[in-house]
């Protein structure tokens, strides 16, 4: 079952609502880890920074700092993630300065690290959209057989002719057409509502 942002926002402040906390972490942690890896972190650091971001976002939600009327959750979490990665690089620069110049701390970030952050900033929305699409496809997988989804994928995504797909899967062309149409109709009906629930 898909958990809406509204459910998360209203239930997270209840510290004992385990379902909301788990849904929040399951939804955002993988995407945040990818973001931090693309920002130049190794997988262990990315995992730690994702947890830090989730904790900060959860605290902000608990304290009422996110208001749906003022913007998208994507932008709010993205802002927290960008602050987390910048702080991470600032601390790293501080440690490097402390090691090389005892007693001196430069407020400057590593220019190479800053470049990585800027590049990852450009990819944050793309990661968010990809993560949202993956979630929609998981919902689709629970509603259709593997054969249904395969027919849709091979015809609509790969662009193979229906006859070729029928031969490959071992079913009639009519069956391929029906399976593809069933999944396509479901996506057309469910997609906008799913995206709306994801973003609101």
Structure tokens at 24: 């929040």
How big is the chain, counted in residues? 200
Question: Which range (5-14, 61-70, 119-128) has the least confidence?
Answer: 5-14
Q: What region, left, alpha or beta, does residue 75 occupy, with left being phi > 0 and alpha being psi -120 to 50 degrees?
A: alpha
Question: Which range (1-10, 125-134, 155-164, 182-191) has the least confidence?
Answer: 1-10
Contact (Cβ atoms closer than 8 angstroms) between residue 180 and residue 155 = yes
| Helix axes 43-62 and 18-38, enclosed angle (nearest 10) | 140
Q: Give pLDDT, residue 136.
A: 83
Contact (Cβ atoms closer than 8 angstroms) between residue 62 and residue 15 = yes
pLDDT tier, 7 (very low <50, low <70, confident <90, very high otherwise)? low
If one compares 158 and 14, the residue with the highest pLDDT of the two is 158
Q: How far apart are alpha carbons 194 and 34 in whole angstroms?
A: 22
CA dihedral of 77, 82, 88, 93, whole degrees rounded to 10: -170
Per residue in 58-73, pLDDT (tens digit) is 888 778 788 777 777 8
pTM > 0.75: no
In degrees and rounded to multiples of 5, residue 143 shows phi and psi of -110, -15
Residue 162: closest CA among 145, 176, 179: 176
Mean pLDDT of 46-66: 86
Q: How far apart are alpha carbons 157 and 96 in whole angstroms?
A: 48
């Amino acid at each position: 079952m898909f958990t809406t942002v509204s459910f998360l926002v209203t239930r997270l402040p209840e510290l004992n609502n385990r379902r909301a906390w788990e849904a929040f972490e399951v939804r955002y942690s993988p995407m945040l880890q990818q973001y931090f890896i693309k920002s130049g972190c190794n997988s262990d650091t990315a995992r730690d920074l994702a947890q830090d971001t989730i904790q900060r976002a959860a605290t902000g939600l608990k304290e009422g700092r996110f208001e749906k009327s003022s913007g998208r959750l994507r932008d709010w979490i993205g802002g927290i993630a960008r602050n987390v990665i910048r702080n991470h690089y600032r601390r790293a620069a501080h440690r490097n300065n402390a090691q090389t110049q005892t007693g001196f701390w430069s407020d400057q970030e590593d220019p190479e690290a800053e470049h990585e952050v800027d590049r990852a900033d450009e990819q944050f929305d793309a990661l968010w959209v990809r993560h949202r699409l993956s979630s929609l496809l998981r919902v689709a997988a629970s509603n259709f057989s593997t054969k249904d989804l395969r027919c849709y994928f091979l015809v609509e995504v790969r662009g193979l002719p229906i006859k070729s797909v029928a031969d490959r899967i071992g079913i009639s062309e009519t069956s391929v057409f029906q399976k593809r149409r069933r999944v396509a109709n479901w996506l057309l009906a469910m997609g906008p509502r799913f995206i709306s629930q994801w973003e609101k």
